[in-house]
Structures are given as structure tokens and as C-alpha cells.
Amino acid sequence: MALQIRIVVPSSLTGAVVSMARDHSGVSEISVLRGASMVPAGDVIVLQAVRESVETLLQKLHTFNIATVGSVSVTAPELVISDRLDAAEDGAAGDGADAIIWDEVEQDTSDDSKLTWSYLAFLAIAVQLAGIGIITDSTIAIVGAMVVGPEFGPLAGLALALVDRRWKLARRAATALCVGFPVAMVLTGVATVASIWLGLFNPADVLGNNRATEFIYHPGPYSFIVAVLAGAAGMLSLIGKKSAALVGVFISVTTVPAAGYVAVALVLGEPGRAGGSALQLLLNVAGIVISAAAVLLAYRLVRRRRPAPTRYSAEHAQMAIGGVGARSAFRR
């Protein structure tokens, strides 16, 4: 798989960046547009490289502090026909399907961890669907609620934050979870009260006769095991850009259904079942975060080092260009 890396740099850095790219295995094309960038003033360098070589390429680019003086953008062209690219792929170590680009992972998890109106809307809709599934004893509605739920984004962000010790991201992800779920549960409780008032269902005929949804308020060892497996699969799918696998993760965990059950059970006067559902929710959240963090740590241990200093990290890196050392701070 080919990726295109567009780099905007001051003219003083162009020679060093091009020289580095020439020597980097996996780069098949290098184009330089001198003076093409007006803001910031400088040159535009366009590289074409195979995916398995891009992570190490970005590591080298970060040492030039380009995020501060210019920019780096990575895109994936739909189709590339090139013998040079085929040769570069043969010469690069690893496989594109297994390649990880840590900047990409960090940006995706950071973006999906924010408390936004769309996140709240999706979570509220998901918990409402779960509430309907509980009231009607419908596994179809429960599965629909699992698919719609957007909670894996903040959970993955929390796992990454714990591994990287990025406490700002941890606070943002925790806020999305701690605000989103209570708001969605309150709305579901209000909807349940409104449904009773409108005569849409008989409260006496609901929870006592539910069989298809009993698993939601009966947490056990397998509840945690399923969450651990789902968290590992979810992080692997996020890292490997396997969206179909991520949807499967949504269907396998009961975070949203448990939240819906808490709301419905409290309204119907079943605190015991509400407590069991709340425990189910906590077990799922803990299992997902722990296993997702373990997957990230495992990937890094395999490489026997931490990943590239990305533009999100707070560490300082030394760079030497033309024999002159300079310090650059990488932003979170």
C-alpha cells in the first residue's frame, strides 16, 4: 500500500530532508516544489512510500521539528501504478497490512475521545435503543444499540493516555465517559417515565418476564473476559485500520445495554437489577481499557523501544543539521 507524504519546510531544511528521504528504504518517489509554500514561506516536498516504511520515516522527520516550522500530512492515493513502488515494497521490511503509524493512532484516538454534541447524540440514541430493547425484550434492538454506541473512542483514548502518561488526553476521555453515560441514562430514564405515562407498556410485564436480556444485569467472570477480548480486538482493529473488526467489537460488549438497563430498572423500581447492570458496565469499561493498553504495550515491547517521538509527545529530542545541534520541543 502506497502513502503520500507532503512536507512543508523552510528552504534551509529542504536539502537535509531530501537527503534523508533518498537514503530511506521504502521511498519510491521524491518531488520538490521550491518556493511553492507562501504561508509558511518555504518549499513543498512530496514523497511516495510504502506503508511499512512510513513509521520510521516519520520518526526521522520529527527530528527536524517540522511540526513547528511547517507541516507533514499523510494521505493514501486510491491507485498507484509504479514499478519503482513495487521495488520499494520488496525492499522494505515488514508488511503493509501489519504496519503501525503511531501518529495516526494518536490522532485518531485523540479525535474520538472528545466530548462533542455528536458523541452525546450517538450515545443518547444508543442507550435509548438499549432501553427499548430491554422493555420489549428484543435482542435486535440491543444489538442495534451496541453498533450505534460511540464509547470505544474514549475508552481507546484512555488506554493510550495511560500508556503514554498523557494526562490531558486521559482527562478528556474520562470526561467524555463520565458525562456522556450519565446524560444518556438520564434521558433514557425520562423516556421510560414518558412511555409509562403514555401507556406504551405495562411496567409489571417488563423486567420480570425478560429472558433475552437477562445477561445484562448478571455480571460474571465471562463478562470481564469478553470485555478483555473485545478491548484487545478493538485496539488491534484501530491500529490496523480494520473497521469491520471494530464493528464486531461494538456488538460483543454490553456497555451501552448495561447503561440502558440501569436507567430502566431504576425507573421501574428494581435497584438490585440496576446495581447488577452498573457492575456490568464497570467490568466492561475496565476490561476494555486494560486490554487495549496491554495491546499498545505489547506492540512497543516487540519493537524493544517506545514508538517515534510524535508531535503529540512532550519529550525533547536532539537534532543535528549540518553539524549544528538544536533542541526542539514536541507538542502534546
Q: pLDDT tens digits for 129-140?
A: 999 999 988 888
Question: Has residue 323 been placed in a domain?
Answer: no
Q: What is the predicted pLDDT for the residue at 111? A: 81
Mean pLDDT of 115-142: 92
Based on the fold, state whether residues 197 and 146 are members of the same structural domain.
yes
Contact 321, 64 (CB under 8 A): yes
The count of domains in the chain is 2
The answer on 117 and 185 residing in a single domain is: yes
In a domain, 197, yes or no: yes
Confidence of residue 328 (pLDDT cuts 50, 70, 90): very low
Burial class (CB within 10 angstroms; exposed 0-12, middle 13-18, buried 19+) of 39:
exposed
Distance of CA 220 to the CA centre of its chain: 27
Higher pLDDT, 29 or 332: 29
pLDDT tens per residue, range 262-272: 999 999 998 98
Regarding whether 39 and 71 lie in a shared domain, the answer is yes
| Amino acid letter for position 236 | L
Q: pLDDT confidence of 329, banded at 50, 70, 90?
A: very low
- Specify whether the CB–CB gap between 265 and 213 falls below 8 A: no
pLDDT at 181: 96
Distance CA 165, CA 314 (A): 10
Q: In whole angstroms, how far apart are CA 318 and each of 12, 55, 63, 326, 328?
A: 18, 19, 7, 6, 7
SS3 of 67, please? helix
Domain carrying residue 297: 105-302
127 and 22 within one domain = no
In a domain, 55, yes or no: yes
Query: Which of the pair, 133 or 253, is modelled with greater confidence?
Result: 133
190 and 222 part of one domain: yes
Least confident stretch, 29-33, 126-130, 253-257: 253-257
> What is the C-alpha end-to-end distance of the chain, expressed in Å?
29
Task: Kindly give the residue spans of alpha helices, DSSP state H, lying in the chain.
Answer: 11-23, 51-62, 66-69, 83-91, 102-112, 117-136, 139-148, 152-164, 167-197, 221-240, 243-252, 255-267, 271-302
The closest of 216, 199, 198, 209 to 141, measured between CA atoms, is 216
Give the range with max mean pLDDT: 6-15, 81-90, 107-116: 6-15
Q: Which three cell numbers stand for residue 147?
A: 453498533
The answer on 273 and 147 residing in a single domain is yes
Q: Is the same domain home to 128 and 192?
A: yes
What mean pLDDT do residues 141-154 have?
Answer: 89
Between 66 and 321, the higher pLDDT residue: 66
Q: What is the mean pLDDT of residues 307-317?
A: 46
